[in-house]
């Protein structure tokens, strides 16, 4: 999320509307939004209908606890970024979806692990290509 927030001006320049969706309890979502100073709307999907609809799966315990995942958590902690309170299901993976104004999916990225996110430049490139077409 931090990468996305750092590119907020680029997103605004390209007229990209960002929505964050979580399945966690409302109180936990509100705390996350406040703690991370989230500049975008945070929507709740407690039944995970969007997650299921976009084919976002669950991580195995090995994917969550393998050495490379633990290393990423340690790097964040050393940078002063403490992990938040775990949500209702730490195994649920997320993703990123770009939907154009007509409702067509232009980009769908399903995370393969808890730290797997697309590069922001890849998302911006999709939008830039759409504008060029």
Query: Are residues 40 and 19 in contact, defined by beta-carbon separation less than 8 angstroms?
Result: yes
Indicate the pTM of the whole model.
Answer: 0.70
In a domain, 94, yes or no: yes
The position carrying tokens 């975008």 is 40
Q: What is the per-residue pLDDT across 10-68, written as a single tens digit (0 to 9) for each?
A: 888 888 888 899 888 898 889 888 888 889 999 999 999 999 999 998 887 777 777 77
In a domain, 132, yes or no: no
In a domain, 133, yes or no: no
In this predicted structure, the answer to whether residue 77 has a pLDDT above a threshold of 60 is yes
Q: What is the per-residue pLDDT across 89-120, written as a single tens digit (0 to 9) for each?
A: 778 888 888 888 888 888 899 988 777 888 88
**Which domain covers residue 11, as residue numbers?**
2-127
Query: Are residues 42 and 23 in contact, defined by beta-carbon separation less than 8 angstroms?
Result: no
11-30 burial, b at 16+ Cβ within 10 Å, e below that, comes to: beeeeeeeebbbbbeeebbe
The partner residues of 107 in beta bridges, in order of sequence, read 98
Q: What is the CATH number of the domain that holds 7?
A: 3.40.30.10
Query: Are residues 107 and 96 in contact, defined by beta-carbon separation less than 8 angstroms?
Result: yes
In a domain, 40, yes or no: yes
| Number of domains forming the structure of the chain | 1
Cα→Cα distances 100→10, 52, 67, 123, Å: 17, 20, 38, 12
Instruction: Give the pLDDT confidence score for residue 82 in this predicted structure.
Output: 61
């Amino acid at each position: 999320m931090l990468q996305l927030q750092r590119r907020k001006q680029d997103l605004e320049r390209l007229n990209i509307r960002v929505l964050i969706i979580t399945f966690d309890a409302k109180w936990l979502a509100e705390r996350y939004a406040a703690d991370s100073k989230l500049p975008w709307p945070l929507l709740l999907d407690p039944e995970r209908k969007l997650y299921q609809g976009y084919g976002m799966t669950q991580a195995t315990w090995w994917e969550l606890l393998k050495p490379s995942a633990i290393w990423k958590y340690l790097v964040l902690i050393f940078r002063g970024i403490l992990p938040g309170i775990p949500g209702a299901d730490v195994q649920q993976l997320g993703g990123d979806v770009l939907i154009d104004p007509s409702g067509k999916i232009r980009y769908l990225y399903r995370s393969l692990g808890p730290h797997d996110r697309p590069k922001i430049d890849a998302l911006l490139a999709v939008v830039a290509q759409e504008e060029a077409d």
